[in-house]
Every structure is written in C-alpha cells, then in structure tokens.
C-alpha cells in the first residue's frame, strides 16, 4: 500500500470513530465563547490532544491544532475540517524555542492572541511495568520545560475577556505528592512542593536537576523518588507544581484580564503512550480537559481534577 492509500485509510478510520461520538451541548446561557474564541492545543495530531481539539471545535470554538510534525498535523486538521469544524494548523515543537517564538509571532499577527491554552504534548519512555530512566532528560524536557516554555510565551498573548482566559495542563495522578504508593520520600520536600505559597520555579527545577543528576550518576534508585515510571512521575509532579505557581502568580490580575490555570489527569487512556492499553478512550480522556477549558462563570484556578472532580495534589 502506498503513502496516499495509507493516509486515506487513517482518515477513514478517524472519521468512522468520530461518527460514533456525541458532544454534549452546552445551553445558551452557559456558553461564554463563540467562533471568535481561539483555543490552542499542543501535540494535537493524535491521542488525547486530537480529541481535545475536536471536542473544543465541536463546541463552536476556533481551534489551532498544533503538532511538531507538519505532515501529521495537517492530516489531523484535514479530518476535522472535513467535518465542518473551525480548525487551523500550525507547527509547534514544544522543545524548540525557535518554533515556539515563530508560533507566538504568527498567533499575534493572525488572531492578536488566544483565549485558551491546552498544554497536552507529552512523552513517556516507559510502557507496562517498565521503569527505565533511559529517556529521563527527554521526558522532563518535554513534559515540564515544554509546558513551561509554551505557557510563558502564550501568557502575554492571552486575550482579556469577562470570562477569563484559561490554561489547562494535561498531567497525571502519577505526579501526585500524596499518592500512597508513588510519592517522594522526602517529607520536607513534599511539603514545600505541596504548599502553593512555598512553590517556586527555583524549587521545582532544583528538584528536577537533582533527579537528573542522579540518573546520570546512576544513584537515582536510592534517591527516594517515586517508584513507578519515575522520570514521567517527576515530570508531571513538576507540571502540577508549575500549575499552582502560575495560578498564584497570575491571581492578582484585575477583572477582565484574569487567567485561570488548572491541571487534570485524563485517566489511563488507550493511546500510543500506553500501547493502546488503558481503560478509557481518548474521547473520555479529553473530557475533563475540555470541561475545564469551558467552565462557565467560575473563577477556579490552581486546582487538580480527574473525571470532572477536584482531586488533591
Ligand atoms: P500520545 O503519545 O498519543 O500523544 C502525545 C502527543 O504529544 C503526540 O501528538 C506527540 O507528537 C506530542 N509530542 C511529543 N513531543 C512533542 C514535542 N516536542 N512538541 C510537540 N508535540 C509533542 O499520548 P497521549 O495522547 O496519551 O498523551 C497526551 C497527554 O496526556 C500527555 O501529556 C500525557 O502525558 C498525558 N497523559 C496520558 C495518559 C494516558 O493514559 N495515555 C495518562 C495521563 C496523562 P508526535 O505524534 O509527533 O509524537
């Protein structure tokens, strides 16, 4: 089979899967958005990100579907455009500062800004019961530094509105500080990272670099780090702490210029990341993220969610 046929097969499969899904409509009084509302989703060519993009567009927003690889991003965008959704593509590699800058310039010129940012792009070097830290540097760079760098580039471009702009970080319960089986052993560090007043960028990044240094030295196994998917758990722990830090930093913005920042765990989702194991579909995994992005009249910020409920960090 040639490339064209394979692309067509992928497109038909996606369209068929989508035809089975139904977006639950919001009532008119709940809808604070319109087609002019612009949402950006990172890593949206597949998996949960693609579903977040699809569902947001299905609710009537304009979505910028981004992907590090142009071919894959265009293919995904075409599928959504064929459904009549307002979706545009732009390249964005969250690890590449030039790509982030070019993207920000394009957003500024094209839309003047965005209303919603969903930091979804992520990697995990482990599958099943593996716990290898071979890719620790890449996992931490993509999941934490990618999220941070895209957020920092987008905050100045978040448009003022009565409803407030929103940032949603796709995180994981594996990064919880209070998880019984998968937490940091150092109680003082747990307390510092768990208190929104004591979290700082310096604390988050010092913790990550201590971990990465131990990976390099080969001493990480006795470092008191989370036991499952250690590198991935550390990266998401950092995303969670960054979410609270950003929420606090942005909390004193005046009415009309508010930015609400939250994170959520999509559950264990059938995507490439889990080798299509998992117990929920990508559409279900996207649900809480879309719900958070569209929350009507609620100034919720600095919180962690799963299945549309707040959970503890
Ligand atoms: P997928 O592997 O299907 O999708 C990951 C997406 O991130 C892909 O589009 C990938 O692009 C993109 N990506 C990776 N690196 C970069 C980069 N440098 N720049 C831009 N995009 C990048 O996984 P999921 O859909 O499952 O994961 C989405 C998010 O959900 C991740 O943050 C993940 O950690 C989180 N999550 C997933 C869970 C699950 O059970 N699946 C559980 C908890 C959290 P490409 O196609 O080019 O590789």
Specify the DSSP element, H or E, that contains 306: strand 304-306
Counting residues of the chain whose pLDDT is more than 70, the rounded percentage is 100
Q: Cα of 244 to ligand 1 centre, how many Å? A: 22
Give CA–CA dist 218/305, Å, rounded: 34
Give the pocket of ligand 1 (CB within 6 Å).
42-43, 45-49, 67-69, 72, 93-95, 120-124, 142, 146, 170, 172, 265-266, 268-269, 271-274, 278
Q: How far is CA 174 from CA 1, 5, 193, 230, 233, in A?
A: 40, 39, 15, 9, 5
pLDDT for residue 26: 85
Pick from 40, 48, 76 the residue to mutate for probing ligand 1's pocket: most ligand atoms within 8 Å of its CB.
48
Asked whether the predicted pLDDT for residue 207 surpasses 90, the reply is yes
Q: Cα of 266 to ligand 1 centre, how many Å? A: 12
Nearest CA to ligand 1 atom 8: 43
Confidence band (pLDDT; 50, 70, 90) for 48? very high
Work out the average pLDDT over 118-138. Answer: 95
Q: What is the pTM of this model?
A: 0.97
Nearest CA to ligand 1 atom 41: 269
Q: What is the pLDDT of residues 242-253, one digit of tens each?
A: 999 999 999 999
pLDDT for residue 33: 97
Note the CATH number of domain 32-123+144-172+232-311.
Answer: 3.40.50.720
Counting residues of the chain whose pLDDT is more than 90, the rounded percentage is 88
Q: Which of 26, 144, 232, 264 is catalytic?
A: 232
Pick from 273, 283, 287, 307 the residue to mutate for probing ligand 1's pocket: most ligand atoms within 8 Å of its CB.
273
The answer to whether 111 and 104 are in contact (CB under 8 A) is no
Work out the average pLDDT over 8-24. Answer: 85
φ, ψ for residue 259, nearest 5 deg: -135, 120
Q: Cα of 66 to ligand 1 centre, how many Å? A: 12
Q: Cα of 212 to ligand 1 centre, how many Å? A: 21
Considering Cα of 178, then 183, then 185, then 190, what sign does the dihedral take? negative
Q: What is the pLDDT of residues 277-305, one digit of tens each?
A: 999 999 999 999 999 999 987 799 999 99
pLDDT for residue 105: 98
Q: What is the pLDDT of residues 157-197, one digit of tens each?
A: 999 999 999 999 999 999 999 887 799 999 999 999 999 99
Query: Annotated catalytic, 232?
Result: yes
Work out the average pLDDT over 114-134. Answer: 95
Work out the average pLDDT over 150-158. Answer: 98
The answer to whether 292 and 313 are in contact (CB under 8 A) is no
């Amino acid at each position: 089979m040639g490339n064209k046929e394979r692309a067509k097969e992928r497109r038909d499969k996606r369209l068929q899967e989508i035809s089975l899904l139904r977006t639950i409509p919001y009532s008119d009084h709940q809808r604070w958005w319109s087609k002019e509302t612009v949402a950006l989703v990172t890593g949206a060519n597949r998996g949960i990100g693609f579903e977040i993009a699809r569902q947001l567009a299905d609710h009537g927003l304009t979505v910028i579907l981004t992907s590090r690889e142009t071919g894959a991003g265009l293919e995904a965008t075409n599928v959504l455009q064929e459904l009549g959704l307002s979706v545009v593509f732009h390249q964005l590699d969250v690890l590449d500062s030039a790509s982030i800058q070019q993207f920000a310039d394009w957003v500024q010129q094209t839309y003047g800004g965005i209303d919603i940012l969903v930091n979804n792009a992520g990697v995990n070097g482990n599958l099943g019961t593996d716990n290898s830290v071979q890719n620790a540097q890449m996992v931490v760079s993509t999941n934490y530094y990618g999220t941070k760098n895209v957020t920092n580039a987008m905050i100045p471009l978040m448009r003022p509105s009565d409803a407030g702009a929103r940032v949603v970080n796709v995180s994981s319960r594996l990064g919880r500080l209070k998880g019984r089986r998968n937490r940091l052993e150092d109680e003082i560090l747990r307390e510092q990272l768990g208190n929104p007043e004591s979290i700082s960028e310096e604390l988050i990044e010092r913790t990550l670099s201590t971990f990465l240094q131990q990976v390099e030295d080969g001493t990480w196994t006795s470092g008191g780090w989370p036991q499952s998917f250690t590198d991935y758990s550390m990266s998401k722990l950092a995303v969670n702490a960054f979410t609270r830090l950003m929420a606090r930093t942005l909390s004193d913005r005046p009415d009309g210029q508010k930015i609400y920042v939250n994170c959520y765990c999509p559950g264990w989702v059938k995507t490439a990341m889990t080798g299509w194991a998992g117990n929920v579909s990508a559409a279900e995994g996207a649900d809480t993220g879309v719900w958070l992005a569209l929350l009507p009249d609620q100034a919720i910020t600095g919180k962690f969610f799963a299945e549309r409920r707040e959970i503890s960090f």
